[in-house]
Structure 1
Amino acid sequence: MLGRPPHLVNAYLVEDVLVDAGTPAARRRLTRQLDGRRLAAHVVTHAHPDHFGASHAVCDRYGVPLWAGRKDAEAIATATPVTGSGFAAAVVSRMRMPAPHPVTRGLVEGDEVAGFTVLDVPGHSPGHIALWRDHDGVLLCGDVFVNVLRLGAPPKFLSYDDVRNRDAMRRLAELRPKLVLFGHGPPLRDPDRLRRLAG
């Protein structure tokens, strides 16, 4: 958890890999939690500033590589997120952009990260990825779903392609995950609820 209220913005340490890094303002809180731990790499689920906000600071401080979905790599490396049109573009243009950082590994479907399999689930961003661990049903879904106030899709105006994100929601729900970890919101242990929502 990187913000207030709890679970508003989440980052996860999976073995020795940090998944997401919150906003630029999360840097101090994140490094306080990471200092003294072994860190081998940092993965970003998608190129939005509330997920790679502190990525440059983390990679610089711990000397670790940054990995992200191949189609989001340039957006992170240049700190220029790809958004939908109209209102979304206007909102993002007013946000404080994180420091850019080079992506050293562009992740694709089937890659392995800390015991998880990379799933290509574009829609919220062009290169959005999720991480799936089949043997125990744990899913890190980034922002394909959000669980703040209610479980649902991210706001349409914040997604690059809402129709494709709905396809990604259905794909992830069909996995019937036993534990879903969101970019925003508390964990969920109810695969049927996820399927009803995505159906």
Structure 2
Amino acid sequence: MTSFHSNTGKEVRDDLYYYTNQIVNIIMIGDPTTSNWVLVDTGMPKCGDEILSLAYDRFGVGHEPSAIILTHGHFDHVGNVVHLLEHWDVPVFAHTLELSYLTGSKDYPEPDSSVEGGLLAKISSMYPHESIDIGEKLLPLPPDGTIPFLHEWKWIPTPGHSPGQIALFRERDRSLISGDAFITVRQDSFYKVLIQETEVNGPPRYLTTDWKRAYDSIVRLRELDPQLVIPGHGQMLEGIKLTTGLDNLINNFDELAKPDHGRFI
């Protein structure tokens, strides 16, 4: 699985950079002139050396991040965290409701290949759903919404796609890292993922287990009035295209996002 945007990155703010690793985005927060930075999510499995090379190109060899923040623990967001921790002695932060999936104590439900959707939904039974164990480095995010090492940012609970999924928001410039709460590509469609056709869409269908909470999470993020989003999947979006896209998604959620049938419907 990959897209035409794979192995490409974009700086959307002086201290905000994202990189498309096959079909998922990783985000680097921090001014590269200071070498103080934080990594958000770690991409698809078996790409650890690629992420290390990317980090050193941007921040300099030997400048490891202050921390890794995980929006949630699905395989395409934690795919290289074990490999990275073999090179970086840094803490990893996640929501308390995700910790069991990151300490080897509980697996996610199997992806729902019966769900309404395109080719990538139909083959989703192939996707890993087993937990990983990074317990020695893992810490819960502070309950007050602050994020260690990112004093301008706060974390927002966005359950639905997974129990403890979070988004990250900076009020100063209304920048949002949405994880998979909403994305900007139809993730179950192979063609749309391949060309990265931009459209505000709900979370990936085959791994979303609570559609009521998924809807509520999108409404919560819209109330923040974001002006720029870096999603977990798809390309960044900003301005009127983002706000009108979110409004359309909320107003037509059942038609645009929620599948007609599936194990979690």
- Which TM-score tier does this pair reach, normalised by the shorter chain? 0.7 to 0.9
Report the counterpart of residue 263 of structure 2 in structure 1: none
Report the counterpart of residue 184 of structure 2 in structure 1: 147
| Match for residue 100 of structure 2 among 64, 71, 74 | 74
Comparing 183-192 with 33-42, greater Cα deviation is found at 33-42
How many pairs does the alignment contain?
A: 197
CA RMSD of aligned residues (A): 2.5
Equivalence map 1:151-170=2 (5 Å): 151-170=200-219
State yes or no: 1:100 paired with 2:133: yes
Instruction: After TM superposition, give the deviation of residue 136 of structure 1 in Å.
Output: 0.8
Cα distance in 2 between the residues matched to 1:91 and 1:68? 28
C-alpha spacing 1:80/1:32, structure 2 compared with 1 (3 Å): farther
Cα distance in 2 between the residues matched to 1:44 and 1:198? 25
Question: Which TM-score applies when normalising by structure 2?
Answer: 0.67
Instruction: After TM superposition, give the deviation of residue 78 of structure 1 in Å.
Output: 1.4
Instruction: After TM superposition, give the deviation of residue 170 of structure 1 in Å.
Output: 0.9
Aligned residue type for 1:193:
G
C-alpha spacing 1:84/1:191, structure 2 compared with 1 (3 Å): farther
Equivalence map 1:1-199=2 (5 Å): 4-6=3-5, 7=20, 8-15=23-30, 16-35=37-56, 36=61, 37-78=63-104, 80-83=106-109, 87=113, 94-96=126-128, 99-102=132-135, 104-107=138-141, 108=143, 110-113=145-148, 114=150, 115-148=152-185, 149=197, 150-189=199-238, 190-199=242-251
Larger Rg: 2
For CA contacts below 8 A with separation 6 or more, give which structure has more relative contact order.
1
Whether contact under 8 Å (2:181, 2:202) holds in the other structure is yes
SS in structure 1 of the partner of residue 99 of structure 2: helix
Aligned residue type for 2:70:
V
Share of identical aligned residues, percent?
A: 29
Cα distance in 1 between the residues matched to 2:26 and 2:45? 13
C-alpha spacing 1:79/1:60, structure 2 compared with 1 (3 Å): farther
Instruction: After TM superposition, give the deviation of residue 157 of structure 1 in Å.
Output: 3.0
* Structure 2 unaligned spans of 5+: 6-19, 31-36, 115-121, 186-196, 252-265
Question: Which TM-score applies when normalising by structure 1?
Answer: 0.87
SS in structure 2 of the partner of residue 42 of structure 1: strand
C-alpha spacing 1:182/1:86, structure 2 compared with 1 (3 Å): closer
* Structure 1 unaligned spans of 5+: none
Whether contact under 8 Å (1:17, 1:43) holds in the other structure is yes
Cα distance in 1 between the residues matched to 2:156 and 2:247? 18
Aligned residue type for 1:195:
D
Cα distance in 1 between the residues matched to 2:80 and 2:204? 23
SS in structure 2 of the partner of residue 64 of structure 1: coil
C-alpha spacing 1:194/1:84, structure 2 compared with 1 (3 Å): farther
Instruction: After TM superposition, give the deviation of residue 161 of structure 1 in Å.
Output: 0.9
